[in-house]
Structure 1
Amino acid sequence: MEQLLHYVWKHKMLPLHEMKTTKGLHVEVIDSGLHNMNSGPDFFNAKIKIDDTLWVGNVEIHDKASDWYLHKHDKDERYNNVILHVCGDIDMEVKNQNGDCIPQMQLDVPEHVTRHYAELLSTDNYPPCYKIIPELSNLMVHSWMSALQTERLEQKTDAIINRVEQCNGSWEAGFFVTLARNFGFGINGDAFEQWALSIPLNDIAHHRDNLFQIEAIFMGQAGLLDLDTIPEKYHHDAIADGYFNKLKNEYLYLKHKFGLQQIDGNMWRFLRLRPQNFPHIRISQLANLYYAAKCSISQIVECDTVKEAMNTMHTGVTPYWETHYTFGSESEKNEKHISPFSLNLLMINTVIPVLFAYGRHQSKEKYCDRAFDFLEQLKAENNHIVRMWKECGLKVDNAGDSQALIQLKNEYCDKKNCLRCRIGYEYLKGEKIG
């Protein structure tokens, strides 16, 4: 039943009658939010109008209201920003960690939706027009993919320009923040971006020739040098091995010197992460990149080939992290160089968009053209979106294709923008539907 509630909420297949909270307040769903596939509330950044007040926050969905306590959400700070608890059965009131009552609404699933749920669920992973895709002309598909590829780069350009503005117009700092965000590889992207924004690059540039001091600042600013971010069973080992204490003492000195303000170390997420993606490893890799003077847009624009750009982004960890994934927890020795898979993603999501954005900013088309050339030379991504389109019959030959198809899914299919989609136009004409 809970899966069905998720489906109905996600697709706004809401009942026609007026919806109200258990307290009798009118509920209007303006935006159902972004479906969260990881731990935490089910939908992020929803917009709900309750009576005359517009609320923006998270939505949690359960079969029964009492599941709130069964899943211990009342003890989890991530659920303090839940603005509405949607349930199939409201069997009790619920409160968050702060003791505040959460507004609740019973969602009545329409009978015909329940009846056809199995069928809907089986096709939910495909766009509604998937049957027509194998019959589309190569010329039409190529033209639409090229447009989508450009659209995605322009969208990423807007995000990069925003970061540059946050960094007082510094493209070097904006590049560093963009690179750091993508070192989070999705799950820790937001945390990495906040971490990068907390680092005053102009100040720490004085210590760029000292890798230990760079790592001390990077780890300290991430909040990872606080004992409460280390599992209690590793406290003794972390202190005993000496490296943790050396880093912490050095960071405290540099923190005072530069007036640094670290981020909350509890922001980092570890659930479902492979150890090589732990923030400690990624931050050490970034420290090595910064120490080698590779976190620089000037380095990127000088790369004429994909191979040169990938060599610029290649990095490893400091010796301590060759035998650790977190402080105090020893592992088998592994140099932990960034993998070819991760390197490919960093090229697609950092180097190429920054090159394109910088080309637009400087009115240098050669940088923009090089960005497109690099996309055509890189391997396509292998994720659930790309696999879905392959199953529908579309060819995916390179990273340019995979980026175009991600744009198509995110900006057209998910948002039901069929009238703006060229495939949607072909489908609506009805001439080629089998």
Structure 2
Amino acid sequence: MTAPHRPAAPDPHDFLALDSTLAEEERDIRDTVRDYATRELLPHVAEWFEAGTLPDPRGLAKAFGDLGVFGMHLEGYGCAGASAVAYGLACRELEAVDSGLRSFVSVQGSLAMAAIHKFGSEEQKTAWLPRMAAGEAIGCFGLTEPDSGSDPGSMRTRARRDGADWVLDGTKMWITNGSVADVAVVWAATDDGIRGFLVPTDTPGFQANTIHRKLSLRASITSELVLEGVRLPGDALLPGSAGLGSPLSCLNEARYGIVWGVVGAARACYAAALEYAATREQFGGPIAGFQLTQRKLAEMVLDVNQAGLTALRIGRLKDAGACHHNHVSLGKFGNVAAAQRVARAARSLHGANGITLEYPVMRHMVNLETVATYEGTEEIHALSIGQAVTGVSAFR
């Protein structure tokens, strides 16, 4: 009688063996982005975070372009046309280093490029998308305003006709990449509803002011956009844009990247905690042997793997054309909360060391405070899920 087969013990860093379900191309993309991020970004990100900036955003954009991650889920115009899961994996590996780096890629590809790809004319697509995919041009996405965050339909930015031209006036706030962008996708109210416009940032009347003194997402450039009498030709309008649904559909693409990205942040915090617990000794032994430490690690590995399962399932739905925006809301709502729990527990396990930049946990912890807010707050996503399960809207 043959001995019964004994399954291999779980890998502490991939407890449910989720990566074994990936296709070869997906694994290749994962490895390529992980190798680059670990080699070129991770050694410097704590310094960038402490300095509160990205020292060479154009160099970073060119490197990301060479890596092929800008707009990698889009088709044509120099974009890779990769699967949703492959794009998610790239977001996961970038955010395992820092949320600000994933935001750089998300804003370029899932917001600015996606808006042009979805709603732009052929001339607009040809003019901008290949350069943006290559990292030769940087874009930003101007929707949020100082008094219009969760309710973008109340925006005050206006675009009015003046002969054949458009004239834009208004202010946008919390705009990633705004101060280094070559083109801004600006959403404005018109007599025909909310429309999108391509605004080259060297247009007279356009000004981008970098926001300083941030305590979160510091390795990222965040800006205020001010438009005062910005005159644009008629063909600056994104002709396919129509109503608030247009920018919200772009936000859904960026939210999808967050669903995956925060798994990377959680994984990094868990891995740091696991290593620290094995090497930190108190009371005559490693703290990994203490019951309370093991409870914390068990809860961390549970959150990391459940969030990974959620991201993978939503990615597979997206690739099958079956992903509703409520699926993405569920993913962002659940996965961000899970990542926050992991980061807080990892910070606690590190003790006083956890508040320094020698370890990644507090950097991730404060970054996740921003991630929980942008692309829809947790309250907005809770209401989105609530509406989906009850059939009743609580937004008004």
Q: TM-score, normalized by length of structure 1?
A: 0.24
Higher strand share: 2
Q: TM-score, normalized by length of structure 2?
A: 0.26
Higher relative contact order (CA 8 A, sep 6+): 2
